[in-house]
Amino acid sequence: MLDLKFVLENLSQVREGLKKKQFDLDPSPLKKGDQERKRLQKEHDELRYQQNQVSQEIQKRKKEGKSIDDLLTRMEGVARRVKEISSRMSAVETEIQDFLLKVPNIPHPSVPVGPDPKSNREVRCWGKIPRFSFSPREHWQIGEALGIMDFTAASRIAGSRFVVYKGIGARLERALINFMLDLHTKGHGYTEIWPPAMANTRSLTGTANLPKFEADLYKTTDGLYLIPTAEVPLTNLYQDEMIPEENLPLSLTAYTACFRSEAGSAGKDTQGLIRQHQFDKVELMKFATPDSSYDELEKLLSDAEKVLQLLEIPYRVVTLCTGDMSFASAKTYDIEVWLPGQNGGKGAYREISSCSNFEDFQARRVNTRFRPKGGGKPRFVHTLNGSGLAVGRTYAAILENFQDERGVRIPKALQPYLGVDAIFP
């Protein structure tokens, strides 16, 4: 959430930045609300001053044995007005906050400007694109042929866009999770967290999933939501807390199942693991100071890339343009993995991780601040997160990049976790 004072004091800058995200800010509700809030606050302070003055006069008259009836009558009216003002001030604050909750974050100046993914900027490519002596198959075709993935059984159990992993296929999913967690905790210094798989309304509002993206969430009968990503519980881990600056940056990682309704995605990626209602993901999360957050974004990106490098899977990194960024992000890198079976065997890059810096946009919603080392006023932290990685899409990338005419070879880095070097029918 943007800071009201900053928005009103830098209105031209804010509106220009938001237009790059294709959002036209009408500041009139904010101006009106802020003016009413200030007027009410002034009247409230004046009435409270009157109450204090009259209280002193009442004590004085009591000592002198004089009547205080007129003062009590006067204070009854003042008390009623103070209550009315307090109620209206609370309503105005809620109106301002509700408005700001629907305003996206401002993109960082380094983000390329453009309306859609065509304006995304390629940063680098890594790895060698595999060549095959046969037409490469898609991962779901390979998985079903090997008997390690069953979409038909999953459909009977839960409907479309679910999968059942079988035998060594289930072990491959578990091996990938353990491999990623071990790399990030032992190699990159992240602290592992095992969070709840459900979250309340405030927590999802804190990460900006609510109110804008409620249609993409699964809501339980008691008002909780199944988490769409571990970003939600990790970001709220320090809700309403003050973190000492010397403890920053905090680097956290978590494996969770994730749940998304995929509202509005009818007809897209209906087969395979790319767009599932339930999927596994290892998340990376950082809390950082404003001065260090963009350095931490580069580190987080590098940590996510390392997974693919060790698995020897080719990929590219792109900086998302303003029109392709998420609602809450100030800057986002996408890691796109190469899937040779896509596009009729011609291959295509597909997103496997988004690494974002939200600056203080989420921290204001969650109310997570830090206390500077040298003293001074507490400040909001910057939050960052990224997939490290989406497990199902990594699974798909292994099947497609390491396929041969007999089955699938297992990347060397994963063999100790799986105990085999290949999967055959």
Residue 393 bears catalytic tag:
yes
Beta bridge partner(s), residue 337: 315, 350
Give, as one character, the DSSP assignment of residue 115.
Answer: S
359 vs 237: CA distance, rounded Å: 17
Clarify whether 351 is annotated catalytic. Answer: yes
Are 316 and 349 in contact by the 8 Å Cβ rule? The answer is yes
Q: Amino acid identity, residue 22? A: Q
- Nearest Cα residue to 302 out of 290, 315, 289, 288: 315
The burial of 223, by beta-carbon neighbours within 10 Å (0-12 exposed, 13-18 middle, 19 or more buried), is given as exposed
- Name the active-site residue from 326, 351, 371, 409: 351
Q: Which of 251, 353, 354, 387 is catalytic?
A: 354
Q: Does residue 377 contact residue 289 with C-beta atoms inside 8 Å?
A: no
Cis peptide bond prior to 416, omega within 30° of 0: no
DSSP 149: E
Beta-strand relationship, 369-371 and 242-244? parallel
Is 260 among the catalytic positions?
A: yes
Rounded to whole angstroms, how far apart are CA atoms 11 and 389?
38
DSSP string, 287-341: EE-TTTHHHHHHHHHHHHHHHHHHHT--EEEEEPPTTTS-SS-SEEEEEEEEETT
CA distances from 294 to 214, 219, 285, 359 (A): 29, 34, 13, 9
Of residues 61, 74, 88, 275, which has the active-site annotation?
A: 275
Is the backbone of residue 376 left (phi > 0), alpha (psi -120 to 50) or beta? left
Residues taking part in catalysis = 260, 275, 351, 354, 393
